[in-house]
């Protein structure tokens, strides 16, 4: 699967910058999975509608697990719901998303010829704020190693392309991509129409994504940024499309 995505990126990147190729591939995958994602969102919205009734049942039969299970199943049947329907679309997509992540992080992608500069970034195979001199010094020994590692491939690129300085063309090496990923993560969460308890639980996720992206290649950060933005816009569209009388979900203000 990794090789498949590498070939697709090579196809898009033949006449385009690889940053644009990542954006196109991410959007294409999102469009392919649109029906599954929409089904998942509808299921989550329906589950939120009956959540008060579920809590009522849990409180009423908290000392009788067997009866609670029976009543919950009856509730699902009454509303023609499958509690697993919201998870299945996500599980189907995960292997594809993991494969794409692995492809962008692979030696094969690093070694692709062509445009790896994108916007303010010198090379999307590296971390956005990578200091090339520091990386080369830290991985100098690995260049002569016979094993084909990601670090060796990156170190060889520094030598081949004579990179120096930092991986940003901006005056200040600010982690803008990581910040944008954090912001779009927050946007995507807000458009899900979560209740207050769920929002509190997910409040730290944008900060987690910010820290994670500081240590990822810029190419992967581009993928996460586009994926978050697409998901958020799709959820805004779904909220407006679903009839309020059918599904009681929080509207976007």
Q: Is residue 114 part of a domain?
A: yes
Same domain membership, residue 197 and residue 156: no
* C-alpha span between 161 and 115 (Å, rounded): 12
Q: Is residue 253 part of a domain?
A: no
Q: Is residue 124 part of a domain?
A: yes
Same domain membership, residue 63 and residue 48: yes
Same domain membership, residue 157 and residue 48: no
Same domain membership, residue 171 and residue 58: yes
Same domain membership, residue 151 and residue 125: no
Same domain membership, residue 182 and residue 145: no
Same domain membership, residue 144 and residue 237: no
Q: Is residue 248 part of a domain?
A: no
- Residue 244 pLDDT > 60, yes or no? no
Distance between start and end Cα atoms, the chain: 40
- Residue 200 pLDDT > 80, yes or no? no
- Residue 153 pLDDT > 90, yes or no? no
- Average per-residue pLDDT in the chain? 80
Same domain membership, residue 176 and residue 218: yes
Lowest-pLDDT choice from 81-95, 97-111, 158-172, 210-224: 81-95
User: 60 pLDDT band (50/70/90 cuts)?
Assistant: confident
Q: Is residue 65 part of a domain?
A: yes
User: 179 pLDDT band (50/70/90 cuts)?
Assistant: very high
Same domain membership, residue 231 and residue 205: yes
User: 1 pLDDT band (50/70/90 cuts)?
Assistant: low
Q: How many domains does the chain have?
A: 2
Same domain membership, residue 188 and residue 150: no
Q: Is residue 208 part of a domain?
A: yes
- Residue 193 pLDDT > 70, yes or no? no
Q: Is residue 252 part of a domain?
A: no
- Where does a domain end: 165, 184, 214? 165
152 lies in which domain range? 131-165
The model's pLDDT over 6-22, given as tens digits with 9 standing for 90+, comes to 888 888 877 788 999 99
For helices 88-104 and 218-241, give the axis angle rounded to 10 degrees.
Answer: 160
Residues paired with 250 in a beta bridge: none
88, 73, 96: which is closest to 39 by C-alpha? 88
User: 235 pLDDT band (50/70/90 cuts)?
Assistant: confident
What was the pLDDT predicted at 210?
Answer: 93
Please list, in sequence order, all residues whose beta carbon lies within 8 angstroms of the beta carbon of residue 68, skipping any fewer than 6 positions away. 57, 58, 61, 62
- Where does a domain end: 148, 165, 182? 165
Q: Is residue 250 part of a domain?
A: no
The model's pTM is 0.78
Same domain membership, residue 138 and residue 24: no
What was the pLDDT predicted at 67?
Answer: 81
What was the pLDDT predicted at 86?
Answer: 57
* C-alpha span between 17 and 123 (Å, rounded): 11
Same domain membership, residue 52 and residue 34: yes
221, 18, 2, 210: which is closest to 113 by C-alpha? 18
């Amino acid at each position: 699967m990794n090789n498949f995505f590498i070939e697709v990126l090579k196809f898009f990147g033949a006449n385009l910058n690889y940053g644009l190729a990542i954006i196109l591939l991410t959007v294409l995958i999102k469009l392919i999975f649109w029906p599954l994602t929409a089904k998942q969102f509808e299921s989550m919205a329906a589950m939120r509608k009956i959540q008060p009734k579920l809590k009522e049942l849990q409180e009423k039969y908290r000392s009788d697990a067997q009866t609670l299970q029976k009543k919950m199943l009856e509730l699902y049947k009454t509303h023609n719901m499958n509690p697993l329907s919201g998870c299945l679309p996500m599980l189907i997509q995960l292997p594809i998303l993991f494969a794409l992540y692995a492809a962008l992080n692979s030696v094969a992608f690093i070694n692709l010829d062509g445009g790896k500069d994108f916007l303010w970034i010198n090379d999307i195979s590296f971390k956005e704020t990578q200091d090339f001199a520091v990386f080369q010094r830290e991985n100098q020994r690995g260049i002569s190693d016979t094993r084909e590692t990601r670090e060796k491939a990156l170190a060889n690129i520094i030598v081949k392309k004579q990179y120096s300085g930092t991986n940003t063309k901006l005056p200040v090496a600010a982690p803008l991509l990581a910040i944008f990923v954090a912001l779009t993560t927050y946007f995507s969460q807000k458009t899900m129409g979560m209740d207050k308890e769920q929002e509190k639980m997910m409040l730290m996720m944008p900060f987690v994504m910010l820290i994670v992206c500081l240590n990822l290649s810029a190419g992967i950060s581009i993928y996460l940024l586009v994926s978050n933005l697409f998901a958020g816009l799709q959820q805004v569209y779904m909220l407006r499309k679903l009839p309020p009388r059918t599904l009681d979900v929080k509207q976007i203000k």
